[in-house]
């Protein structure tokens, strides 16, 4: 899912987002509640009409802001109390308030409010946040007024595999429409992330979506898919696109580098995105000249690349050739295919 935190995927018109092959986008409860306000979005026709997106939308609960705005946040059992990053005003987010905002926004999938903490953390801190996540998830279900809006619960538990499995099993008992693995990509290493995914996925239902939140690089995606994950969101393709990094099957290209100055070839010969209608030399020129078209083109390219990657992964699974697909892609990204 391309990340459209504030009702927009940065740098792209909504038709450009559709052209990447994206089927679903993500918005954020906390940010939209602060600006412009969920009631404003509702008065303007709901989040789909507000941003002009006809496909499904998932809204994050605001739980990640407990981590990202930790210095501005107090977490209590009733709710998390924030100081707005915009003007410092107090903002209280309880499980009930999170669901009310998401229902008012009109998203198709609402995430249950979870307690995200940074890593490393003490065993006590991880256990308390995990237990609170389970209690808050039940309160989110109890607060539901729109049965047509799916709710996904979020598995927490830090890097404790047993605690992750325990959390997953308790959440599954409440029968959510989908389940997410949260609290990763917050400072842990790749091996720990893989270990936690491997432990958690078997504890989640096979017939419901499994969503790895906030991850990641192309390699992260194929590694997680091989361990049972279905859905992803991440700012990496858009943020890195704005900063002159393009993803390709041969690894990332840093488009400000001098070696691209006179390069006539596109980023990817087979890519249908608008960036690949131009030469690498032209895209480098745009970034060096400070032209806004450079970030726009690489954002479109990177999202298109991610969508092609997961589509090809799906096709490889259906053809029973995913392991070969994964290994071939990783060899390309790490340069092992080059002499």
Q: What is the pTM of this model?
A: 0.96
Give the per-residue pLDDT at 338: 45
Model pLDDT, residue 290: 98
Tens digits of per-residue pLDDT, 214-246? 999 999 999 999 999 999 999 999 999 999 999
Q: Measure Cα distances from 330 to 140, 221, 223, 246, 333 in Å.
A: 39, 11, 9, 16, 5
At residue 181, the pLDDT reads 98
Distance separating alpha carbons of residues 210 and 216, to the nearest angstrom: 15
pLDDT at 100: 98
Burial of 121 (0-12, 13-18, 19+ CB in 10 A): middle
Q: For position 339, what pLDDT does the model report?
A: 28
pLDDT digits over 30-42, tens only?
999 999 999 999 9
For residue 316 the two structure tokens come to 């490889």
Cβ atoms of 34 and 7 closer than 8 Å: no
Residue 118 is predicted with a pLDDT of: 86
Intervals of the chain under pLDDT 50 = 338-339
- Region for residue 305 given its phi and psi (left: phi exceeds 0; alpha: psi -120 to 50; beta: otherwise): alpha
Active site residues: 60, 233
Beta strands in 156-256 (DSSP E): 178-181, 210-212, 231-232, 245-246, 253-254
Distances (CA, A) of 89 to 60, 84, 86, 105, 195: 21, 5, 8, 22, 40
Domains of the chain: 14-234 (3.20.20.105), 239-334 (no CATH)
State both tokens at 128.
């308390």
């Amino acid at each position: 899912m391309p990340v459209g935190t504030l009702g927009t995927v940065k740098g792209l018109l909504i038709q450009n987002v559709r052209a990447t092959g994206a089927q679903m986008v993500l918005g954020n409860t906390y940010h939209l509640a602060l600006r412009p306000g969920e009631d404003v979005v509702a008065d303007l026709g709901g989040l789909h009409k507000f941003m002009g997106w006809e496909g499904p939308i998932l809204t994050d609960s605001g739980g990640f802001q407990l981590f990202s705005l930790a210095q501005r946040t107090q977490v209590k059992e009733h709710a998390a109390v924030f100081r707005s990053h915009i003007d410092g005003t107090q903002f209280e987010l309880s499980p009930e308030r999170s669901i009310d905002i998401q229902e008012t926004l009109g998203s198709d999938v609402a995430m249950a409010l979870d307690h995200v903490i940074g890593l490393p953390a003490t065993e006590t801190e991880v256990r308390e946040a995990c237990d609170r996540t389970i209690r808050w998830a039940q309160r989110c279900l109890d607060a539901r007024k729109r049965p047509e809006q799916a709710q996904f619960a979020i598995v927490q538990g830090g890097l404790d595999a047993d605690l992750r499995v325990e959390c997953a099993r308790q959440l599954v008992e409440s029968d959510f429409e989908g389940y997410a693995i949260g609290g990763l990509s917050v400072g842990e290493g790749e091996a720990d992330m893989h270990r936690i995914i491997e432990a958690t996925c078997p504890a989640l239902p096979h017939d419901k979506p499994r969503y790895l939140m906030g991850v990641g690089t192309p390699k992260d995606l194929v590694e997680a898919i091989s361990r049972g994950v279905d859905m992803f969101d991440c700012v990496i393709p858009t943020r890195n696109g704005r900063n002159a990094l393009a993803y390709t099957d041969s690894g990332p290209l840093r488009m400000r580098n001098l070696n691209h100055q006179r390069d006539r070839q596109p980023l990817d010969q087979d890519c249908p995105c608008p960036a690949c209608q131009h030469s690498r030399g032209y895209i480098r020129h745009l970034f060096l000249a400070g032209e806004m078209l450079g970030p726009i083109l690489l954002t479109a390219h990177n999202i298109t690349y991610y969508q092609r990657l997961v589509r090809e992964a799906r096709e490889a699974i259906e053809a029973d050739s995913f392991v070969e697909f994964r290994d071939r892609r990783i060899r390309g990204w790490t340069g092992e295919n080059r002499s």
